Amino acid sequence: MESVFDGLITWASQAIESSSNQALLPHAVLILNASKQSDSAGYWDVTASTQSILDSLASTIHRNPRFKRWVKFWLMKDKMVDTLEELVLCYYSSIQVSQIPNTSSLAFFSDIAKT
């Protein structure tokens, strides 16, 4: 997942640097295909899934050299960035992560839909 966020931020930073008239930041949507079924409440909920992934990767900005570079860039602009979510929101207006079940989980969702 860290490499996915690296790619998102790389693309966005290049887009911002090359744009002379960008009024609004884009919205990021990540689709995780073939996710394994989880009994965790909210696993399939977009808001809960987004927050869970961002929380699990929050401290990567202190370990990943590219993330550190972007954090330093924003610090030079007087903006403190302490988590991956804060870094993503420097480049995107918002982010959502949606999980698509793998084929073994489809029966689970079919059963839910019938009730």
Q: Write the pLDDT tens digit of every residue in 71-112.
A: 999 999 999 999 999 999 999 999 999 887 776 655 655 665
Range(s) of the domain holding residue 48: 2-12+24-114
Q: What is the pTM of this model?
A: 0.79
Residue 7 lies in a domain: yes
Query: How many structural domains is the chain composed of?
Result: 1
Q: For residues 97 and 18, is the Cβ–Cβ distance under 8 A?
A: no
Q: Write the pLDDT tens digit of every residue in 20-71.
A: 666 688 899 998 886 666 555 566 788 988 998 999 999 999 999 999 999 9
Residue 86 lies in a domain: yes
Residue 89 lies in a domain: yes
Burial class (CB in 10 A: 0-12, 13-18, 19+), 36: exposed
Residue 101 lies in a domain: yes
- Model pLDDT, residue 37: 61
Residue 17 lies in a domain: no
Residue 19 lies in a domain: no
Residue 110 lies in a domain: yes
Confidence class of residue 14 from pLDDT cuts 50, 70 and 90?
confident
Q: Which two tokens stand for residue 114?
A: 């019938």
Query: What CA–CA distance (Å, rounded) separates 5 from 112?
Result: 32
